[in-house]
Chain A
Amino acid sequence: QKEVEQDPGPLSVPEGAIVSLNCTYSNSAFQYFMWYRQYSRKGPELLMYTYSSGNKEDGRFTAQVDKSSKYISLFIRDSQPSDSATYLCAMSSGNTGKLIFGQGTTLQVKP
């Protein structure tokens, strides 16, 4: 079993839809959670960083962490074609700096 599980998709939605992306994890030592966006043949771009259970909002993006269920989510409101990319969840225990990534979910937002 992988430490971090993420459905690779692809996920296709119409412009303006609310997108929900999710990851589950098995290691209870994970304390820090991140979401990255990666466009084709580019480097990952840090979107959201959280370290506690609950919600964190930044513009159209909301990150949600449920440590009791070992489940994290990223919500994108009013999705745009420019949001079409691969979204990677990542997490760490904070002791070594090593990030463990999910496989990534490919999102396509259709105009």
Chain B
Amino acid sequence: NAGVMQNPRHLVRRRGQEARLRCSPMKGHSHVYWYRQLPEEGLKFMVYLQKENIIDESGMPKERFSAEFPKEGPSILRIQQVVRGDSAAYFCASSGQGSDEQYFGPGTRLTVT
């Protein structure tokens, strides 16, 4: 499968726990983006990363959220001490060098109980 992969597809966490969402970009892509989709709302940009670099994190909440894209392995979106308001679909997208076309993964649906 050469597409963007995300896991897990569904994640249930209790309030106060940590959530880790993983994203493997499309083969040959080196740019990764994370978006959040709340019920009845559109997609909202969170963060843009390249390998070992955060390029734009203007959409990330100031606390509890962090993202990384290490030299080896998938990109990780980490949410500490989750609250019910974090329940949403989190999508990862990737693009190739010099391209603005972003291709999305299937998403991770986070439910906080």
CB contact under 8 A between A98 and B101, given known A43-B107, A103-B42, A104-B42: no
| Residue tally, chain B, CB below 8 Å to A | 26
Nearest chain A CB to B104 CB, angstrom units: 4
Please tell me the size bucket of the interface on A.
20 to 34
Nearest chain B CB to A45 CB, angstrom units: 7
Scoring B residues 23 to 58 as 1 if CB is less than 8 Å from chain A, else 0, what string do you get? 000000001010100000111110010000001101
Q: How far, in whole Å, are A82 and B103 apart by their CA atoms in the complex? A: 21
A17 at the interface (CB under 8 A from B): no
A99 at the interface (CB under 8 A from B): yes
CB-CB under 8 A from A111, the residues of chain B are none
Is there contact, CB below 8 Å, between B42 and A99? no
B59 at the interface (CB under 8 A from A): yes
Contact of A98 among B4, B45, B103 (CB under 8 A): B45
Nearest chain A CB to B4 CB, angstrom units: 8
- B-side binding surface: helix, strand, loop or mixed? strand
Is there contact, CB below 8 Å, between A99 and B104? no
Give the one of A41, A43, A46, A102 with max B CB within 10 A.
Answer: A43
B91 at the interface (CB under 8 A from A): yes
Q: How far, in whole Å, are A100 and B102 apart by their CA atoms in the complex? A: 12
Nearest chain B CB to A94 CB, angstrom units: 6
Nearest chain B CB to A46 CB, angstrom units: 6
Give chain B's interface residues, CB within 8 Å of chain A: 4, 31, 33, 35, 41-45, 48, 55-56, 58-59, 91, 93, 95, 100-107, 109
Supply 25 A–B pairs (Cβ within 8 Å), ascending by A.
A36-B104, A43-B4, A44-B91, A44-B104, A45-B104, A46-B101, A46-B102, A46-B104, A49-B101, A51-B100, A88-B42, A96-B48, A96-B56, A96-B58, A97-B31, A97-B56, A97-B95, A98-B33, A99-B35, A99-B45, A99-B93, A99-B102, A101-B35, A101-B42, A103-B42
